[in-house]
Structure 1
């Protein structure tokens, strides 16, 4: 059975961004997500898991256990630094250049859950990446493996999970305890997914949609017409929830993401309950555009978190970049480069408004200690905790500190772009591991310089001061 105390302590609520290869500036596929925790920091690590791990698995949150395939691929991931409540590997890229991010916490409705109840003895976000990513060689294979696991063992929560390879992106949402649906994202489309059921109009009879057998049974049970148009069916209407909470917590994030993708949202209400799942941006998006979306706090809108609060001092709408960002990743699979340098795991620790994302090669045999060995308690020798400290200082006097933070972010964007530009050719695993170490060192050095600047310039603005010195 589900160990509720451990589960609630580790439960995440996130934001997902998907960008098809025809929309990206360089023809890559990108799947990205903010992994958000609670009000207390939940430190994260960046690790590399070697191939052919032990073939037994025991969940730490339920009694679920299973035998895994003998052969597995190596992969990167970002598990929790504090152990005992599950792995929560979050997302990564395996040695076959397949990426997975798991997962986006979503909601379904009571009709679905009565038809297909959640299973407290099943699997969930804490398990998904570990059970799937090491065993797949394509995005579609990820959907098929996870779908089979869900149907066989069930899940105790509702989630959205994304997969990508160099050609395709697939997005899967669980519906009930054992049912699920997945769609292939068109190459010219993008997605902003929040914490509710996101998939809307699909062709259930088409080749780009996969689903559990129970899906059509539920639709037929709930349909108010004898003739069901499966080629233009809105799954959100059948499986989703339409809550007042969505109007302030979920829908505005989708509206904001669409705005930052270059879509005209001037006549769209941010609280709209049926914002589209798939959008088709006219402009090309690069990694830094995705980073901006994952960091967004409604700047330059009437809902700017730092300048337009409610009377209670809270934001009008839930932002994307926020205090509960623990780690964020953009999993990029590049086109027109050798396989060895195709998989790029862009990583940011802590609140995205104040951090910077930098690239790490996935085809390595280790990760740098400053991001691999994050301790459970504060220690600014490690990147996660250093960025947490910077965010606490910079958030307290946003307008004063933000120019310094932005200068740091621009320096790291330039460093990341240069890092990839200089490594376009086939490189050995050992050399890629060394390159990652150099990037981690550069980031830590730049972040420490930023912390030093914040302290030097901010000390004179402390409330506890007196301008006359003896």
Structure 2
């Protein structure tokens, strides 16, 4: 059973953030009740063989796999779907942003049934690369050799660069480096626009221009617009996809007025101000607040006209922050939100942790509240029942908890200055456990308050006689 995720992604260059972090992030949207875990894989010395349970894709893996964080499914019955992580070389990867290619290009380069898919990408790429650019190249080599079974966008980052790679057809791809002073928001469409074949900021299939020209898809001498040549532009895109890009860009660049149904929204955009990591959280948690399209607002005129960024089917959301001027085990933070980004908490897991807290490695079907995933899902379901009534309380717990988590990160940063490799691993592990406890304790109190306050909101209520 191959599962296609309908996600939303964000990438931010290092000069677009206050602290010069490189940031990538994504909502993993697929099923409303499908637990996710966050784990830390130890390094592996010996060569291995990968065999997918999602299809028949298989390939040998090299020696010396690096340690990395990952967010796999609760069961590997249908494949691993590790989705996102940061390795010990300081490389982050998120895979994938599902996309669609048009029928013309797929006619000449169809998908390969047993090619690589989302399910396998993080597992066979992230442990073996030492830069974002290397990540693009390794995945490109795999696609050229084995083909792919679906169109996808893949995010890579290191301490210097953020890259977005789009695999459109069975063997053709393009990748673009996000300019340091810019950001990108992507929503289930091929997004990269004009390709500069003479720039080091692009990587692409060796025969990409020849392929497009030979099949009368592109005229030499004109701009090679990858989105227009390989992508789609349909009424479905204008209700399902473009409005999410518009929503993300209106939040970060409100000075630019755009149409949510425009087919020409820019892939690369500049924010009106320098950004913080929580600006990425804000985009991934957005559902058209303060517009007439917000499905959570009973006053909204068109509440379900467009598909929002944050939806009930988000299994988890992650933001991978590559910070500067700190030792790598502490510098790189895997921010993890279980369940719906709008109704959960982004919790900082230091990339150098040797393990993750037990409750974040648990969670199956049926639900079990020993699992962090199900604890956050319980809170979100209680909020959903009376969203506008609890919206202020939700914002308060997210804000106050984030404040505590930032203070905890600052303490870890200060403590890391004098530590060796072993000490950093210990610090990253204990600090990660402390961060998880801060969030879980705050949200347990919040959930109990939601439960208590909800008891008097039943439709079976009646105005009782006070004397009875």
Q: TM-score, normalised by structure 2?
A: 0.94
2:139 counterpart (146, 153, 161) = 146
Aligned to 2:162: 169
2:80 counterpart (63, 77, 87) = 87
Aligned to 1:49: 41
SS of 2:355's partner is coil
CA distance in 2, matches of 1:446, 1:21: 31
Query: How far apart are 1:308 and its partner, in Å?
Result: 5.9
Aligned to 2:229: 238
Map of 1:32-431 to 2, 5 A cutoff? 32-38=25-31, 40-52=32-44, 55-223=48-216, 227-229=220-222, 232-266=223-257, 268-307=258-297, 315-424=304-413, 425-426=416-417, 427=419, 428-431=424-427
Aligned to 1:439: 435
Query: What do residues 41-97 of structure 1 show as CA deviations (whole Å, max 9, x unaligned)?
Result: 111000001111661110101222211101110000101012200000000000011
Query: How far apart are 1:166 and its partner, in Å?
Result: 0.1
CA distance in 2, matches of 1:224, 1:283: 39
CA distance in 2, matches of 1:189, 1:243: 27
CA contact (8 A) 2:294 2:300 kept: no
Most deviating of 182-191 and 376-385: 376-385
Query: How far apart are 1:262 and its partner, in Å?
Result: 2.5
What is the aligned residue count? 458
CA contact (8 A) 2:53 2:76 kept: no
Change over 3 Å in CA distance of 1:49–1:225 after alignment to 2: closer
CA distance in 2, matches of 1:121, 1:436: 38
CA distance in 2, matches of 1:34, 1:110: 27
CA contact (8 A) 1:51 1:74 kept: yes
Query: What do residues 90-132 of structure 1 show as CA deviations (whole Å, max 9, x unaligned)?
Result: 0000001100000000011111111111000111000000000
CA distance in 1, matches of 2:451, 2:462: 17
SS of 2:136's partner is helix
CA contact (8 A) 2:100 2:151 kept: yes
C-alpha root-mean-square deviation of aligned residues, in Å? Answer: 1.7
SS of 2:235's partner is coil
CA distance in 1, matches of 2:289, 2:203: 38
Most deviating of 118-127 and 44-53: 44-53
CA distance in 1, matches of 2:284, 2:237: 19
CA distance in 2, matches of 1:285, 1:297: 20
SS of 2:210's partner is helix
CA contact (8 A) 1:303 1:309 kept: no
SS of 2:229's partner is helix
Query: How far apart are 1:222 and its partner, in Å?
Result: 4.5
SS of 1:460's partner is coil
Query: How far apart are 1:17 and its partner, in Å?
Result: 0.2
Q: TM-score, normalised by structure 1?
A: 0.94
CA distance in 2, matches of 1:261, 1:359: 23
Aligned to 1:24: 17
Which structure 2 residue ranges, 5 or more long, are not aligned? Answer: none
2:447 aligned with 1:451: yes
SS of 1:201's partner is coil
Change over 3 Å in CA distance of 1:317–1:55 after alignment to 2: same
Query: How far apart are 1:299 and its partner, in Å?
Result: 0.7
Query: How far apart are 1:431 and its partner, in Å?
Result: 2.1
CA distance in 2, matches of 1:223, 1:208: 26
SS of 2:316's partner is strand
Query: What do residues 353-381 of structure 1 show as CA deviations (whole Å, max 9, x unaligned)?
Result: 21111211011211111111222321122
Most deviating of 154-163 and 220-229: 220-229
SS of 2:447's partner is helix
Query: How far apart are 1:156 and its partner, in Å?
Result: 0.6
Most deviating of 313-322 and 202-211: 313-322
Which structure 1 residue ranges, 5 or more long, are not aligned? Answer: 1-5
CA distance in 1, matches of 2:361, 2:90: 21
Query: How far apart are 1:314 and its partner, in Å?
Result: 5.9
